[in-house]
Every structure is written in C-alpha cells, then in structure tokens.
Structure 1
Amino acid sequence: MTVIFQDPLRPRAVLQAITELVDNHVTALRIAVAYVTTAGVKALIGDIATAAGGPTWRAAEKTLITTFDYGRTEPDALRLLLKHGFEVRVAVLGLHRSEQRPDATSWHPKTYIVCTPRKRRAFVGSANLSRRALTVNTEMGVVVKAPVSGELDTAWEQLYATSELLDEPSLRAYERTRAPQVPEPVEPATPDGGPHPYDLRLFSDAVLDREVRPADFSALWLDAGSMSSSGSHSQLELPRYACRFFGFDVRRYNRNQRTIGEIGIVVGNSSPWTRSLAWHGDNGMERINLPTPRMLAEAGVGNLEWANTVVLFQRAASGVFVVTAAHPDSAAARTWHRESTATERIFRLGQNSSRLCGLI
C-alpha cells in the first residue's frame, strides 16, 4: 500500500497516482465517484489513454458510477464519458434518481480501479473526478493491489448492483431539475497557454477593487525573478497588498520603508524561521527576506537557491507558512500557473514588471 498526499505544494499527485496504475495490459477501468465534472474527465481520460496506448484503451471495458446528489455532477461530463465509450451508471439512492436532493444517506465513494488479467490496482481516497481534485486540492488516498475476485471485486460488484444504467431521458430529467451551479473553471487550452503578462491586471488593483480577497486563499505563488537586490539572492519582492494573504491589513502606504509584520515560514523539514514582511517605499512593493542558501544548508534543507524560481507560500498550522520553490518549467510550477489562470486569479506583480503571481 502506498499513501498519496496532494496539496498545492505537491500538485497532480492524485492524477499521477491514477495514471501510473495504467499500462498496456489494462482490460477494464472502473470508477466510482460522488460527482464528476467535464474538466475532470478531460484531465483524467487524456492521461490514461496515453498511458494505456490507443488500441488497448479503445478495447478496454470502461465503467463509471456516480450520483446526482446536490446537482454537482455536470451533465456534459457524463455525455463526454459516453462519447469515450464508458458505461455510465447512477447510484440508486431513492425513488427519483434524477432529482438532485439530499437523501437520508449520501453516496460517497471515490475509487479508481484498473483491471488486468492477473490483478487489480486501485486508488482509493478523497478525490472526486474533478480537475481540482486531480491536480491541486488537498486530497489523500492510498494505492492498493488486490487479486482478481478478491475484496476489491466484491465491493465493486455491490456498487454496480445498486446502480442503474444512465439513459438519455434520465439525463435530460436531471438537467431540468438541476439547480444553477457555479461551473468549475475551464482548463486553459494548452498546458503552457495563458494571457500575456501585460494583459493581466495588477495584483494591487484587483485587491483594491475587491475582485479578490487574498486571505480567502490557501496558497500564493509568484515568479521570483533574479532577486538581485541582495547579495545572497534571498530578498523576494512581493506585490503590494500581498500582506493581506499573510494576515495583515495595511491600508496606508507612503514613500518610507516600514516593517509590516513578522511571519513564520517553514522550508522542507526545517524548524520555523521568523521573517519580516516589509514595505519598500522606493519601488512601491512589499518584500520578505527568505532564509539564505547558507541558512538552509545549516538547517539540513539542502542546496536550495530562490532566484529564477517560482516560489509558493501555503498556509499551515498556527499561522505558519510553508514555502517551496520550483523551476518555472516543472510540473508543479505549471500546475500553479494553470490553476490560477483557469480561475482568473493570476496577476502581474507591479506596474513595470512582467513577473506573475497567483492565488490558489
């Protein structure tokens, strides 16, 4: 058994874990999730089809069981699954399965089973079939292996027996009764796609215009740039009003430098450092002095340099922030960028800067 943990610091862990279950010996894919979104289907099916190989993927038996509870499953997602050759089934929880109503009990499995002639491999955890659950939400689960006709098959057979085949009349009835939903943000067209930096709003303008409340988000990332203003390349410039992400509500700025407050940060397995968040009067930005490479080495973190990376701050317990750095072309950095682009929470740092930042 392997434990899988995903959060903004470890993006795409769930998607990678599920994809790694698949090879060219797969004969069936069985998914049972409480709800499904179109963006989630696109993210998963594309990666799995590539891992399996075209002929193997087309020949494999594909089944998904879900529910209409609370109207969270997107009708277009089910149509997309049907287009990909899935047998789509709906859990029977009450007399009127097409109605999006809470029942006495909820149907809540999140299971992805890959079948081969000799064994079963599965991811079982907290992730529904949505883009965020597969890539950036905080999710946890385990990868397990089981024999054919074992407990995993028995559990699936029970799920299957208590579900019904989705037909078009039931799907149309669900669409009619489904309350308006806030749609999951659409994934950008290409992994590296996105707006031109100078087409984006300034972070400070978005905060002032109340388009975004930084304190509502769990993570803040930004392009570090060269960080050439300090000899150790550890002084990180932040956009104005970034302090609100860290819990400070500074409203009055002037040309004088000032300390906004102290924050605790953790890097890797280090003990917390207390670092000053300051206002830089000359260039109008906020800044923080991150631990220097020497400090990091002495703490046993390793040979980490901040310059020319993408730095992410994530909220942790007791007001501490976990900090990590990723190469701009890494899967992690691309996922942060993609998530903020998809949710329209990506901004330019400063008036004269092409550096980007985003909230997750």
Structure 2
Amino acid sequence: MKLRTFLHNDENSPTTLSEIQRAHGWVDSEEYLGIFAYATQSGASSFSIAMSPVFWAGTRSRWLFGLDYGRTQPQALRIISGKPNAEVRIYDGAWIVEQSGFLPRRDFHAKSSILANRTNGRSGMIVGSGNFSSNGLRKSIEAGASICTDVQAEYERSIRNIEAMANDLWAQATPLDDILEIYEERWKVDFAAVTAEDEAEADQPASDMFWIEAGYVTQNRGPDRPGNQIDLPRGMSGFFGFNPPANLARNSVIGTITFEPPSGGLVSRDLRLGNNLMEKITLPIPETHGLDLYDGKVLVFRRSGNQFKMWVWIGVEKGPR
C-alpha cells in the first residue's frame, strides 16, 4: 500500500489537486467519486485545467456537493455537470434549496476523492481539508493523506468501507437537474452581489475603485491553461473613463487600458466592442502576473493616474455573508 501524507505549505509542497492527479495517474482511473462540501467556479476550472480532456473522456466521474449556506456557486455545478461522463448530485439538496439562507439540517463537510480501476485492480483515496475551490485545491495551507493500492486485502481493509458509505450518500442525494434552476435563481438573489461591507474589506477607498465579477472566462489559451478573455456588459467602459458613441461599429476599439497587476509589470490591452455587442477585454496572463486564474472571481480595479491597479478579491470564496 502506498500511503502518503501531505501539508501544502509552500509552492514546492504537494496540494490536494496534485495528489488527485498523482493518484489518478497511478490508478489509471475508470471511476472517480468526488465528495466536497462546496464548489466554486474557480475550483471547477482549476480541476478541469489540471486533469485535461483525457480524464473526462476516459473516466466515469460522480460528484457529490453540498449547498450549505449558499457556498457553492451555481456556475461550478454547471461546469462539472457539463463534462463528458460526469454526474452531479447534491447532499440533501431537495430540502436545502427550500430553506432561507440554504441552512442545512446537518452540515455536509466532507472532502474526499475515491478512484478505482476494476480492470487492473488498482484503487486510491485522497482525504484532506481542501475544498473544491482554487484555494482549497491548490493554494491554501491544507493537509491530507492519500492511499493507493493494488492489493485486494489492503483495499478491503482501508478503502472499501468508506467507498460503500460514500456510495450510500450518493444514492440518497438529489440529482442536480432536479434543483439547479431554483438554486441558481435563489442564490443570485442572496449571494451573488458584493456588498459595501465587502468592498471595505479590500482596504481601499470605494470612490476610487470598482469591481467586476468575471463569470464565464473564454478558454482562449487552450484547455490546459487558464483563460484571460472576458465579456463585460455594454457601458462598463465608462468606469475605465471611456464614452464610446452609441452607434460604434462592432469589433471596434473603444480604448486602451493599462493594468497594474500584482506582479509582472504593466500590461496594456484594447477594450473592444464585440460582435455580441458586449465589451470584450483580454486581461493580463494570470499565472505570470500574480492573479492565479479569473474564473468565478471578483476582480477589483482602482484608478492610479492613467493606470488601473487590479487584484482578485479573495472573499468570494469565504462563504455566506
């Protein structure tokens, strides 16, 4: 049996996601069951980028997420459920979506991955503190352990009972399709907006700054790298100091924005009016400018002369407000 404990403390340490990758590579998983208390769009994107299309094409994946307190972002559920061979269920979902604030009757707090290849007899399990967010999977200080084995007796002793209990939870859970639309509708009302109190946490004067929720990020750099192109509502250019004419032709340049990201130096990009009549911007490359990835994140901008300092507001993954 291959037992490995890990503590993600610095950039050279194993992470929850790297342990899932390692176990999947060794097991050559035909089946994957992921159980996580909550999921964010950044987590879904980070997992998808790391695991590549080969994982989705060759592995039947089942996912059990919680909705407790509205921590799970609906777009994360849409991303995962839209993958090939993937099925998503929600722990006690039919009951929770009817509760004010999505208060659970029993907290769902598990974080584990169970992998199996019935053909070669290999199996694995990763348990730890990291949730299904970009921070939990690959950035925060998290601890856990992974087990891999191809010995039947070791599987019986260390994994089988946990797998059986996880399968019971899965069988009793609510299929995502039964509740996704109503959850998304109610979640947007209660949890999608950044409040004035949240803005104050950024420790910047509100009059000098504004924010954008990245939402869908175009995978313009390929499936194995985070995207950096987003669409903004028409009129967002006004926050950057532009006043384009109402009859501006599609695919025209509105103006040039110079960003000052956390690292990597200044970056200038053209803001354009897209063919879909939304305003389109290609942001600094996230992994080379200290921004991790943009998916599902709130991007904060503060005017500094003719430039705009930008950073990712990490509070979007803190949970209920």
Shorter-chain TM-score bucket reads 0.5 to 0.7
Q: In 1, Cα distance between the equivalents of 2:165 and 2:51? A: 25
Q: In 2, Cα distance between the equivalents of 1:49 and 1:148? A: 27
Tell whether 2:40 aligns with 1:37: yes
**Could you tell me which of 324, 336, 344 is aligned with 2:290?**
336
Q: In 2, Cα distance between the equivalents of 1:336 and 1:140? A: 24
Q: CA offsets, 1:150-190, max 9 Å, x none?
A: 44232232233233241523222322333532488556844
Q: Quote the residue 2:114 is aligned against.
A: 113
Q: How many residues align?
A: 229
**Could you tell me which of 176, 187, 191 is aligned with 1:181?**
191
Query: What is the root-mean-square deviation in Å for CA atoms of aligned residues?
Result: 4.1
Aligned residue identity for 2:4? T
Q: Unaligned regions of 5+ residues in structure 2, if any?
A: 194-212, 230-255, 266-284, 315-321
C-alpha distance 192-338 of structure 1, shift in aligned 2 (>3 A): same
Percent of residue pairs identical: 18
Alpha-carbon shift at residue 35 of structure 1 (Å): 0.9
Alpha-carbon shift at residue 114 of structure 1 (Å): 1.6
Q: In 2, Cα distance between the equivalents of 1:28 and 1:133? A: 22
Contact 1:188 1:338 in 2 (8 A): no
Tell whether 2:184 aligns with 1:156: no
Q: Unaligned regions of 5+ residues in structure 1, if any?
A: 204-220, 225-328
Structure (1 or 2) with the greater helix fraction: 2
C-alpha distance 119-21 of structure 1, shift in aligned 2 (>3 A): same
Contact 1:65 1:88 in 2 (8 A): yes
Q: Quote the residue 2:17 is aligned against.
A: 15
Contact 1:347 1:358 in 2 (8 A): no
The structure with the larger Rg is 1
Alpha-carbon shift at residue 20 of structure 1 (Å): 1.3
Aligned residue identity for 1:105? R
Q: Secondary structure at the match of 1:64?
A: strand
Q: In 1, Cα distance between the equivalents of 2:301 and 2:185? A: 35
Contact 1:22 1:48 in 2 (8 A): no
Q: In 2, Cα distance between the equivalents of 1:114 and 1:222? A: 38
Q: Quote the residue 1:72 is aligned against.
A: 71
Q: Quote the residue 1:130 is aligned against.
A: 133
Alpha-carbon shift at residue 347 of structure 1 (Å): 9.1
Q: Quote the residue 1:26 is aligned against.
A: 29
Q: CA offsets, 1:108-146, max 9 Å, x none?
A: 001012212323212211111122222222222222235
C-alpha distance 136-199 of structure 1, shift in aligned 2 (>3 A): farther
Q: Give the structure-1-normalised TM-score.
A: 0.51
Equivalences for 1:263-302 in 2 at 5 Å? none
Contact 1:12 1:134 in 2 (8 A): no
Q: Secondary structure at the match of 1:156?
A: helix
Aligned residue identity for 1:90? I
Q: Secondary structure at the match of 2:95?
A: coil
Equivalences for 1:152-231 in 2 at 5 Å? 152-162=159-169, 163-178=172-187, 179-182=189-192, 189=219, 190=221, 191=225, 199-201=257-259, 222=263
Q: Give the structure-2-normalised TM-score.
A: 0.56
Q: In 2, Cα distance between the equivalents of 1:77 and 1:106? A: 20
Q: Secondary structure at the match of 1:157?
A: helix
Q: In 2, Cα distance between the equivalents of 1:42 and 1:347? A: 26
